Structure 1
Amino acid sequence: MGCLINTVIVFLLVGLTKSSTHTYKAGIASSTQCRFDACAQLVQNAAKANVDILVLPIPEDISRSIQTDNFDETVKVISGLAKDNKIYIVSHLREKVRCQEKTETIRSNLVFDRQGSVISIYRKPLDPTATCNVTATETTFVTDFGVTFGLLMPEDLVLRNLQGKNYVVAGEWGSEIPALAAPQFFKSWAFTTNANLVTSSGIFSGKAGETGHGTGLVVAELKKDGEDSISAPFTTTSPYTEDLSQYIIRPLDLASQNVRKTVCHGQFCCQFHVKTSGPGPQGLYFGLAAFEGVRHYGCGQHIGTQECALLPCVGSLKSSCDIGSINNTNIIFDEISITANFKPEESAQFPIILLTDTLPNSQFRFDSKHGNNTNQVTVKLYDGQNLLNFGIYGRDFSKDYVGKAVIYDNNDGLTYKIYEYINSDEVLEFCDYVWIRLRVLIFVVSIYVLEMM
C-alpha cells in the first residue's frame, strides 16, 4: 500500500513540474511519410528526446483502402506506441462509415495521451457535402504539461477564424490558391496570430516563425504563450500558374521607379507605393492587383476573399499569372507599401510573401489599425527581390459556402473532379439569361394568341 501511495505521489509531482514550466517540446518527422516500423522508431527517439507531443506522418506502406479497412487495428498499434513510450501522439487516419445508405470516407485526427488512451477525435467527411454525423468543428484537448491545444486539419486555418495560442494540425490538404497552400500559409498564419502551430510539415513558433532541429526527428521547444521575437514570414516556393481572370490588375511602370497607385475592385481598394531599381528580365511584367469576391478553395469549398498583391508574370497579366521558369526577377524593390481597409468583424488578414529565394537582409512590417468601422491593414517591405507574390490576403468569413463536389477515391490517391454547375456564377448567369429570353418569348406568344382570339 505504501509503495502504491509513493508511486502516485511521484506521478503527481512529475505532472505538476511539467505544467509549471513555460515551455514544452514538440516533435515531427523530417519526412511527410514513414513505414510503420520507422514510425515506431520515430516514437522511441521522440521519447528519448523528452518530446511531450509528437505528430506522426501518414504511414506510406498502407494504401487508403487498406487503412480504412483496418482502422481499429491501426488505432490499437498507435495506442501501444503512446503507452509504451509515455508520449502524446497525434495521428491522421481514414475510415469507412455508412452515411445515408452509402459509404463515405471519413478523415480522422486522433490524440493519444501518455497512457495510450484516445482523448480527442476530430472527424470530417472527405466529401464536405456529406451530412454524416461526425464532429464538424475543431476540438480541444488538455495535456499534463499545462497546454490546451486546438486540434485541426490544414484547411481549418483558412476556413475558420481561430483565437487560441497552441494548435496541432494533421492531415492532407491541397489548395487551388498558391498563396494558401498549407506549407506557405502555415508560416503566415502563425505570424499573424502569434500562435504555436505543430504540423506534420513543420513547427511554427508564433511570430518567430518555423523552428526545430534534427534529422529524422525534428524537435522544437515552444513557449506556451508565443514568442516575443519576430521573423518575417518569407516563404520560398516553386513557379506556379494562377487564374487571375476575376482580378482587377494595373501594370506597374518600372521605368518610373517610384509609383503611387490605387487599384479598386468594386468598393474594395488597394493603395500601392512601389520604389524599384534594376531592369528585370525581358518579358517579365509586374502588376498591381485587387480582388474582392468568392474564390474556389478546393473540395467544394468557396471562401470570401479580399486581396491586394504585387505579382510578376511572364507574357501577360490579362487573365492568368504564369511565372514560367523564372528563378530570379533581378528587380530590387527598395520599398513596397500596400494598404487597404477591411471589415472589422468576421474577417482576418494575412501577409503573403512568396519568393524564389531567401531574403536575409529585407525589413518587413505588418500593421493593423481599427477605427470608423474598418480595419486598416498595411504591409511593407524594404530591399526585397525575387518576389512571386507580395501583399495582403484577407478573409471574409461571412461569404463562405460549400458547393456541389463529386469526389473519386481510389488506391492511387484522391482525384477531385468538381461539378459546381448548380452554384457556379457562370451557370447562374446562364440561367438568368435563358429565363429573360423565355419571358420575352412567352410575352410575344401571349400577344399573338390574344390577337388570334
Structure 2
Amino acid sequence: MGCLLNTVIVFLLVGLTNSSTHTYKAGTVSSAQCSLDACAQLAQNAAKANVDILVLPVPEDISRSVQKDNFDEAVKVISSLAKDNKIYIVSHFLEKVRCQEKTEIIRNNLVFDRQGSVVYIYRKPLDLTATCNVTATGTTFVTDFGVNFGVLMPEDLVLRNLQGKNFVVAGEWGSEIPALAAPQFFKSWAFTTNANLVTSSGIFSGKAGGTGHGTDLVAAELKKDGGDVINAPIATTSPHVQDLSQYIIKPLDLAKQDVRETVCHGQFCCHFQVKTSASGAQGLNFGLAAFEGLRHYGGGQNIGTQECALLPCVGSLKSSCDIGSINNTNIIFDEISITANFKPTESAQFPIILSTDTLSNSQFRFDSKHENNTNQVTVKLYDGQNLFNFGILGRDFSKDYVEKTVIYDNNDGLTYKIYEYVNSDEVLEFCDYVWIRLRVLIFVVSIYVLEMM
C-alpha cells in the first residue's frame, strides 16, 4: 500500500512539474514523407531530444491508396511509435467509408498520447458536400505538459476565425491563391495571432516566426503563450503566377520618388504611399492593386477576400502577374505604407511579404486599430529590396460559401471534380423536355419551309 501511494505521489509531482513550466518542446519532420523505418527512427530521435509532441508524415510504406483500405492498420503503426517512444504524435490519414450509398474519402487528423491511445480525432470529407458524420471529438485536447491544443488541417487557418495560443496542423491543402499557400501563410497567421503552430511544414512561434533546428528532425522549444520576439513574417519562396483579371490596378510610376495613390475596388479602398530611390529591372513593372470580392480557394471553397498589394510583373499588369526568373528587382523602397479599412467583426487581416531578402524588426510594422466602427489596418516597410509581393490580405468570413461539387477518386489517388447539378435527375429531365419541344419546333419549321418552296 505504501509503495502504491509513493508511486501516485511521484506521478502527480511529475505531472505538476511538467504543467507548471512555461515552455514545451515540439518537433516536425523536414520531408513530406518518410519510409516506415525512417519514421520510426525519427520518433526515436524525437524522444531522445525530449520532444513532447511530434507532427509526423504518414510513412511511404502506408501509401495513400493502401491507407484508404487499411486505415486501422495504419493507425496501429503510428500508435506503436507513440507508445514505444512515450511522445505525443499527430498524423494525417485517409480513410474509405460508405456514406449515402457511395464511397467517400475521409481525411483524418489523429492525436496519439504517450501510451499510444487516440485522444483526439478530427475528420473531414474530401468531398465538402458529403454529409457523413465526420465531426471532431472536441474542440481541443489537453496534454500532460499543460498545453491546450487545437487540431487543424491547413485550410482551417484561412477558413476559420480561430482563437487560441497553440495549434497542431497536419494534412495537405492546395490553395489557388498564392498569398494563401500554406508555407507562406503559416508565418503571417502565426504573426497576426501570436499563436504557436506545429505543422508538417515547420514550427512557427507566434510573432517570432519560423523556429527550430535540425536536418531530418526539426525541434524547437516554444513558450506556451506564444513568442515574445518580433520578426517580420517574410516568405522567401518563389512567387506563383497570379490572376489579376478582377483586380483594380494603377501602375506605379518609378520616375516619381514619392507616390501617393488611392486605389478602390467598389467601396473598398487602399491608400498607398511609396518612396523609392533606385530604378527597376528592365521589363519589370510595379502596380498598386486593390481587390474586394470572392476568390476560389480550392476544394469548392469560395472565400470573401479583401486585398491591398504592391505587385511587380514582367510585362503587362492587366490580366496576370509573372516575374519569371527575376530574383533581383533593383528597387530600393525607402518607405512603403499601405492602409485600408475593414469590418470590425467576422474578419481578419494578415501582412503578406514575399521577398528574396530578409527584414529586420525595425524595417517592418503592422498595426490595427478600431475607429468609427471600422478596423483600420496599416502595414509599413522601410529600406526594403527585392520585393515580389507586399500588402494586406483581409478575410471576410461572412461571405464564404462552398460550391455543390462531387469529388471522385480513382485508383491512383487522383481526384476529379464535377459539378453535381450537371448530373442531377432534375437537370437531365429538363434537358429531355427541352429537346422534345425543340424537335417538334424543328419539324413544324421544316414543313413550313417546304411549303414555301
When normalised by structure 2's length, the TM-score is 0.90
1:351 equivalent in structure 2: 351
Is 2:232 the counterpart of 1:232? yes
Q: What is the SS of the residue equivalent to 1:39?
A: helix
Instruction: State the identity as a percent.
Output: 86
User: Structure 2: which amino acid aligns with 1:35?
Assistant: S
Q: CA deviation at 1:36?
A: 1.1
2:163 equivalent in structure 1: 163
2:317 equivalent in structure 1: 317
1:365 equivalent in structure 2: 365
2:144 equivalent in structure 1: 144
User: Structure 2: which amino acid aligns with 1:121?
Assistant: I
Distance 1:118 1:363 in 2: 45
Q: What is the SS of the residue equivalent to 2:401?
A: strand
Q: CA deviation at 1:247?
A: 0.6
Mapped contact 1:138–1:150 kept (Cα < 8 A): no
Q: What do residues 317-338 of structure 1 show as CA deviations (whole Å, max 9, x unaligned)? A: 0111111111111111110000
Mapped contact 2:178–2:240 kept (Cα < 8 A): yes
2:389 equivalent in structure 1: 389
Mapped contact 1:271–1:338 kept (Cα < 8 A): yes
Deviates most, 265-274 or 351-360? 351-360
User: Structure 1: which amino acid aligns with 2:41?
Assistant: Q
Mapped contact 1:63–1:411 kept (Cα < 8 A): no
Q: What is the SS of the residue equivalent to 1:104?
A: strand
Gap change, CA 1:118 and 1:361, over 3 Å in 2: closer
2:122 equivalent in structure 1: 122
Query: What residue ranges of structure 1 are gaps of 5+ in the alignment?
Result: 423-453
Pairing of 1:21-60 with structure 2 (within 5 A): 21-60=21-60
Gap change, CA 1:279 and 1:264, over 3 Å in 2: same
Distance 1:252 1:128 in 2: 41
User: Structure 2: which amino acid aligns with 1:198?
Assistant: V
Deviates most, 177-186 or 399-408? 399-408
Q: What do residues 271-319 of structure 1 show as CA deviations (whole Å, max 9, x unaligned)? A: 0000012211111110000001000000100000010000001111011
Distance 2:149 2:277 in 1: 46
Q: What do residues 9-36 of structure 1 show as CA deviations (whole Å, max 9, x unaligned)? A: 2222111110000000001112121111
Q: What is the SS of the residue equivalent to 1:11?
A: helix
Deviates most, 232-241 or 309-318? 232-241
Deviates most, 398-407 or 139-148? 398-407
Gap change, CA 1:239 and 1:138, over 3 Å in 2: farther
Gap change, CA 1:291 and 1:416, over 3 Å in 2: farther
Distance 1:98 1:131 in 2: 11
2:262 equivalent in structure 1: 262
Deviates most, 90-99 or 357-366? 357-366
Deviates most, 297-306 or 137-146? 137-146
Distance 1:254 1:137 in 2: 55
Q: CA RMSD in A?
A: 1.6
Distance 2:420 2:227 in 1: 43
1:436 equivalent in structure 2: none
2:94 equivalent in structure 1: 94
1:179 equivalent in structure 2: 179
Is 2:114 the counterpart of 1:84? no
Q: What is the SS of the residue equivalent to 1:59?
A: coil
Mapped contact 2:52–2:87 kept (Cα < 8 A): yes
1:132 equivalent in structure 2: 132
Distance 2:11 2:409 in 1: 46
Q: CA deviation at 1:356?
A: 3.0
Q: What do residues 208-260 of structure 1 show as CA deviations (whole Å, max 9, x unaligned)? A: 11000112111100000112210010111114211111110110000011100
Mapped contact 2:108–2:123 kept (Cα < 8 A): yes
Distance 1:300 1:20 in 2: 44
Q: What is the SS of the residue equivalent to 2:414?
A: strand
Gap change, CA 1:409 and 1:138, over 3 Å in 2: farther
Distance 2:418 2:393 in 1: 24
Q: What do residues 324-373 of structure 1 show as CA deviations (whole Å, max 9, x unaligned)? A: 11111111111000000000000000000011343458600000010211
User: Structure 2: which amino acid aligns with 1:20?
Assistant: S
Q: CA deviation at 1:411?
A: 4.8
Distance 1:309 1:137 in 2: 40
Mapped contact 1:239–1:326 kept (Cα < 8 A): no
Q: What do residues 48-84 of structure 1 show as CA deviations (whole Å, max 9, x unaligned)? A: 1111111101222332120111111111121122112
Q: What is the SS of the residue equivalent to 1:396?
A: strand
Q: CA deviation at 1:44?
A: 0.9
Distance 2:41 2:326 in 1: 41
Distance 2:136 2:287 in 1: 40
Q: What is the SS of the residue equivalent to 2:98?
A: strand
Q: What is the SS of the residue equivalent to 1:17?
A: helix
User: Structure 1: which amino acid aligns with 2:245?
Assistant: S
Q: CA deviation at 1:184?
A: 0.1
Distance 1:364 1:334 in 2: 12
Distance 2:75 2:361 in 1: 47
1:449 equivalent in structure 2: none
Distance 1:138 1:161 in 2: 17
Gap change, CA 1:253 and 1:416, over 3 Å in 2: farther
Q: CA deviation at 1:410?
A: 3.6
Pairing of 1:197-208 with structure 2 (within 5 A): 197-208=197-208
User: Structure 1: which amino acid aligns with 2:261?
Assistant: K
Distance 1:252 1:362 in 2: 25
Q: What is the SS of the residue equivalent to 1:58?
A: coil
User: Structure 2: which amino acid aligns with 1:277?
Assistant: S
Distance 1:142 1:369 in 2: 33
Mapped contact 2:65–2:413 kept (Cα < 8 A): no
Pairing of 1:183-194 with structure 2 (within 5 A): 183-194=183-194
Distance 1:379 1:413 in 2: 42
1:435 equivalent in structure 2: none
Distance 1:358 1:168 in 2: 26
Deviates most, 353-362 or 171-180? 353-362
1:275 equivalent in structure 2: 275
Distance 2:381 2:414 in 1: 39
Distance 1:414 1:297 in 2: 19
